[in-house]
Structure formats: C-alpha cells, structure tokens
Amino acid sequence: MENNIKALNELSKGAHMGLDAVKFILDIAKDEGLRSFLKTNQEKYQNLIEKIDKVYSKYRSEEPQKTNTMNKVMTWYTLKLKTITDHTTSKLAEILFQGFNMGISEGRKLLNHKEVDRSVNELIEEYVTLQEESAKRVKKFL
C-alpha cells in the first residue's frame, strides 16, 4: 500500500508541475497552433489529476501531494528567465519538449521501480503516454 501512495504522490506532483508549466506558456504563446495544443494538453493534465485524486482516495482520506509553493515559484522563475529574451514559438516548444522528457523519465522510473496495484500502474502508464505523445506533438513547433 505504501508504494501506491508514494507513486500517486509522485504522479500528482508531476502532473501539477506539467499543468503549471503549460498554463504559464499558454499565457505568453502567440502561435494559434501551439495555443491549441496547450489547451488540449491542459485538459489532459486536469483529467489525469482528477483520476489520480480519485484513486488516491481509496488509500488515504487526504489529497495527494501537489507541487509545493517553493517548487511552483522556482518553475515560474525558471520559465520566466528562459523566455525573458526569447519567447518565440520555437523557444516555448523547446522548453515544453524538455519538460515532457523529464516527465517521461520520472514516469518510467515509477513503472520500473514500484510494485503497485493495477489501477495505480494504469495511471502511471497514462501519465507516461501523455508525456510521450506531448513530446512528439510539440516537435512540430521547434
């Protein structure tokens, strides 16, 4: 049971961090194709977070961990720095691509190193698939 809780907490943090980054970039993106991609991606993250919360409630009464305030500020600050002089579509896509690849790596680690229930494993796989598909789709904006 402890592995399930740990995995769900990590998934929740990753999904929230991804959602925060997508929202930030959506605020500054000008390209309509990229904006459309980001809006779709935002919905997918929100749906995944809802699923994580639902499965987590089977193990604990409280909510799973989210990105803490310090990490949110650091993410915002890092994104702001990376886009202060260059907020072209290509630069924004590059930042997103790097983030999706980090998500793939973290998700794969969870899949490879955690003994978890089937429902938790399915959420991890959904998260990894979201990251992989997003990385593939954002390449056209590089």
Output the six-digit token pair for 127: 């998260």
- What is residue 70's predicted lDDT score, i.e. its pLDDT? 62
Helices (H) and strands (E) in the chain, counts: 5, 0
Single-letter amino acid, residue 105: S
- Domain boundaries in the chain? 2-141
- What is residue 19's predicted lDDT score, i.e. its pLDDT? 93
pLDDT tens string, the chain, 142 residues long: the values are 788 999 999 999 999 999 989 998 999 999 999 999 999 999 999 999 999 999 998 887 666 656 655 665 566 666 666 767 778 999 999 999 999 999 999 999 999 877 899 999 999 999 999 999 999 999 999 9
> Which CATH superfamily includes the segment(s) 2-141?
Ferritin, core subunit, four-helix bundle (1.20.1260.10)
Predicted TM-score (pTM) of the model is: 0.87
